[in-house]
Structure 1
């Protein structure tokens, strides 16, 4: 237990370091790659996800999904689109190549669609190399550039606000 607390503290230090370095600068370019980071217990509705892609004028191949699970089963460990707290090491180092690649990949938009305060989700959002980070949880405002306050299951409201704010930020026209 003591070591878990120290590990969490080292991860929080890395998150804080990333947040201090973060400075959102709009690129002015049309979004090409979008990522969705979510809690697997409350996933984003697939029909609504297609609406977001339509707003951005992107196809499904331009979308990268990553879902957090509290505890992974043996079968889930083989899936690169799932991750858990155990795959997060000291100082915020992700233990798998797929997670490190997700963290380093440049996304035009990262949608952090979760309300969970899981350390792994917070770390992935904060350490992501996304240009624009959009979240839904008021508790995660510090790690996102834009927070759209909606509850789980309110994807239609999220989509309306998402489109409105992307137009305001001139990400889409």
Structure 2
């Protein structure tokens, strides 16, 4: 229990270091790849993200959706890419090769569709090499370049606002 608290403190310190050193460099390059991070404990319908990608003209092979769960359950086995707290080590070390591959992919846009404050989700967002990070999380504004303030249940509003801002930024 004590080691878990030290590990969490180590990861928080690493996260703050990452966010303080972050350089924002958004260009007007059109979107061709999209990464999406969700908390599977908050949302189960991931098919809507395929529709979202299709509406902004991202091909299915350029779309990557990953999910995070705070507990390992048997019913989550149907989900292909689900990650757990055990996939994270000390000082933001990633123990899962597939998760590390996702983080190393340079997406044009990363959508962080989660509300709950989970350190591991914040680490995924901060470690991602995406050019533009968009989210609905309201707590730490350093994580995302664009924050669309909606609830998880208001996906259609999020989709409409995302489309509007991507058009303004000349991304689509």
Moved more, 162-171 or 68-77: 68-77
Task: Summarize the Cα distance change of 1:169–1:124 in structure 2 as closer, same or farther, 3 Å threshold.
Answer: same
Which residue in the other structure is 1:42 paired with?
Answer: 42
Which residue in the other structure is 1:93 paired with?
Answer: 93
Q: Distance in 2 between matches of 1:171 and 1:21?
A: 25
Q: Distance in 2 between matches of 1:68 and 1:127?
A: 15
Which residue in the other structure is 2:82 paired with?
Answer: 82
Query: Secondary structure at the residue paired with 1:14?
Result: helix
Unaligned residue ranges in structure 1 (runs of 5+): none
Query: Secondary structure at the residue paired with 2:67?
Result: strand
Which aligned pairs between 1:20-35 and structure 2 lie closer than 5 A?
Answer: 20-35=20-35
Matched, 1:131 2:131: yes
Q: Distance in 2 between matches of 1:124 and 1:16?
A: 13
Which residue in the other structure is 2:149 paired with?
Answer: 149
Q: Distance in 2 between matches of 1:133 and 1:49?
A: 16
**Could you say what the CA RMSD is over the residues aligned between the two structures, in angstroms?**
2.1
Q: Distance in 2 between matches of 1:51 and 1:79?
A: 18
Q: Conserved in 1, the CA contact under 8 Å of 2:34 and 2:110?
A: yes
Q: Conserved in 2, the CA contact under 8 Å of 1:44 and 1:155?
A: no
Q: Distance in 2 between matches of 1:94 and 1:161?
A: 33
Which residue in the other structure is 2:15 paired with?
Answer: 15
TM-score calculated relative to the size of structure 2? 0.90
Unaligned residue ranges in structure 2 (runs of 5+): none
